Each structure stands twice: as structure tokens, then as C-alpha cells.
Amino acid sequence: MSKTAGYAAHAADKALEPFSFERRKPLATDVQIEIAYCGVCHSDLHTARNEWGGTTYPVVPGHEIVGRVTQVGDAVKGFKVGDLAAVGCLVDSCRECPACRESLEQYCEREMAFTYNSPDPHTGKMTYGGYSTQIVVDERFVLRVPKNLDLAGTAPLLCAGITTYSPLRQWGAGPGTKVGVVGLGGLGHMGVKFAHALGAHTVLFTTSPGKVEDAKRLGADEVVISKNADEMQRHANSFDFILNTVAAPISLDGYLELLRRDGTLCLVGVPGEPHPSPNVFNLVLKRRRLAGSLIGGLQETQEMLDFCGEHNITADIEMIRMDQINAAYERMLRSDVKYRFVIDMDSLRK
């Protein structure tokens, strides 16, 4: 067992505070990673405040983890001490079900372990995430980091990156397609970068007029202020695919109407309260689809990281100290993040 410093929430209405706990001693196939940086995802906030239900306290959030390997088990083949390594939203799964056999571990049909707030199959305790100085993970769930990328800007790729990359690939974003991204937050800004890099005509929908110039710099061909009905209407029946990253309930009809026949609106944002039910006519009259997507499997996450290495893509980040996390959550709720907070974990070691 090794002592680990972290930050935890102890109740839904309590601020996060310093918390010390034990990580398991690395098993034969485990990699121990000293965490350099951890991104701050809106899911961390939803979980810390129990907005989805099911939070077990204390909870140590954080699933956008990058760092260096400090120890490996005897049977580890892919990593050695000193290597860069990354961990995303998953730290285990059954490895045998049809989903796992296709490396779609995020859709495991039996038991998977999220990086935090899941029962840990190795210890029987709950998993604790990346708001901490180190983590121990089976090498099968550890990713390789391209050496040319800025390490802090790489952390958000492990959730915001893969959660947008996976559906964009699944629904064929590329040259000749018109793709919308709703919300310019952590996920949304990665969605814009990927849709642009994949060659799609990329349109960003935002509620924040102050983000228009940034969206264009990040790769949007057009930006629509979603509160402006005329601007929205100009895009009616024109999109192949729209990715909704918003962390709050919104009208889905406003976006379904913008899809062409057979177009798909995919939800990745998971608000604590449900969206109002869409009008069925908006689906049936044009054979449109309403879909969802959860992060990505290990194979695709590695593919995404390698794609980022080739295209030199990282997140636009604002670095914070661990003790600034509560203020960062408040700013995230005001959509005041450009475009991902990343915690410098050295701030917890000093």
C-alpha cells in the first residue's frame, strides 16, 4: 500500500478538501503513475455534487490523467519506469463480453470500473481518481502519450478528446459532411478541433457571444448564436451530424430541425435533469436519429491520442493549483472556462 495525497468531496453540498488515502501496491500487471496533470471534467462536478445519483463519499474525482511511470509489476510488457503514461475514464472491465472483445470496454456488459466512484475489482473498495498524486492501474487500461505533445494540454484528451472523437468517427465526420457541435466547453472545443481536422464543414453553436472569435480560431467554419432563432433557422435541414455537449437540459427540437434527412443528433452531455422530450414529428418526417455515445474504448482512445500526435492537437487549457478546484467548479457552472481547467499536481506535492 502506498500513501497518496488527494482532494475529495465528502458530501454533495460540501467543497472538495485535502484527503489522504492508500493506493494498492502494484500487482503483476499494474503500472504505478506519478500524476503530473489532471483535467477537470464537468462529470467530476456532476459526481462530486451527486447530480446523477449514486455517488459514494468520499469521492476523489478526475479522469483526465497524464504522468510518468514510477513502478511496474513483474508481468508488465508495455511500460517501463520513466515512460509517459495516461489514464482516462476506465480502469477495468470484464475483458470477456462481446463489447470488451471489440475493445468497446465502455459498453462492457458485465462489470467495468470507472476511474472514480466505482467498486475496484482488486480491492473491493471504491476507485479514487486523478485529483491525487499517483495512481495504480492495470496496464491494459493505460495509454501511451505521443512525445511531441504538450503534456498538460494532453490530459483533457483522455475524456473530452475521446468523447468527441469517437462519435465524430462513428458517424463519419469528414470531407463533404456538415457537422455541428453544440456548446464550446471542454468537450465542445475538442469537438470543433476534431471535426475540423477530419475535414468536415464545422459549425459551432454557442450561447456565449464572447466565444465566437475563439471558435473560429479553434477550427469552426461558422458560428451560430443558438439563442437567435433566425440564425438557427438559416441552417434548417442541412446537417449530417450534430454533437450536443451541453451539460444542462436544452430543447432538442431546435437541433433536430437542423438535420437533413437521415441526419443524427448525438448526445454526449449528460445533464442532471432530463431534456424536454422532442417532438416525434421532427424524427419521423425525415428519418432523423437521436443517439448517444459514451467516451471510447481503449483501442480507439489510443488511436485518438496518435491522431492528436500526428495533427499536433491538444486542449486549450487554464492551469490551476489543486486548492483552486472549488473556484474552478463555480466558473465551470458559469461557462467561464477557456476551455479546460487542468490541475498541476505538483501543487499537491509541495
Residues that bind Zn ion (CB under 5 A): 41, 43, 93-94, 97, 100, 108, 110, 159
Backbone angles phi, psi at 13, to 5 degrees: -105, 20
Q: Looking at beta carbons only, is 50 or 93 nearer to Zn ion?
A: 93
Residue from the set 94, 248, 291, 320 that interacts with ligand NAP by CB under 6 A = 248
Give me the 181-210 binding string for ligand NAP, x by CB under 6 A, dash otherwise. Answer: --xxxxxx-----------------xxx--
239: Cβ–Cβ under 8 A, 6 or more apart, which residues?
A: 178, 179, 180, 203, 258, 259, 260, 263
**What would the DSSP string read from start to end of 1-40?**
-EEEEEEEBSSTTS--EEEEEEEPPP-TTEEEEEEEEEE-
Q: What nine digits make up the cell of 181?
A: 457541435
DSSP H/E element including 260: strand 259-267
Q: Closest distance between ligand NAP and the C-beta of residue 276, in Å?
A: 13
Under the binding rule (CB under 6 A), the answer on residue 156 touching ligand NAP is: no
Q: Which of Zn ion, ligand NAP, none sits in contact with 211, Cβ below 5 to 8 A by type?
A: ligand NAP
Q: Closest distance between Zn ion and the C-beta of residue 115, in Å?
A: 9
* Angle, helices 298-311/160-170, rounded to nearest 10 degrees: 100
Q: Closest distance between ligand NAP and the C-beta of residue 243, in Å?
A: 10
Q: What nine digits make up the cell of 259?
A: 438535420
Under the binding rule (CB under 6 A), the answer on residue 337 touching ligand NAP is: yes
Segment near ligand NAP (CB under 6 A), from 15-23, 193-201, 246-254, 276-284? 246-254
Q: Where are the beta strands (DSSP E) in 81-173?
A: 84-87, 90-92, 113-114, 134-138
Rule CB under 6 A: which residues touch ligand NAP? Answer: 41-43, 46, 159-160, 163, 183-188, 206-208, 211, 245-248, 250, 268-271, 293-295, 332, 335, 337
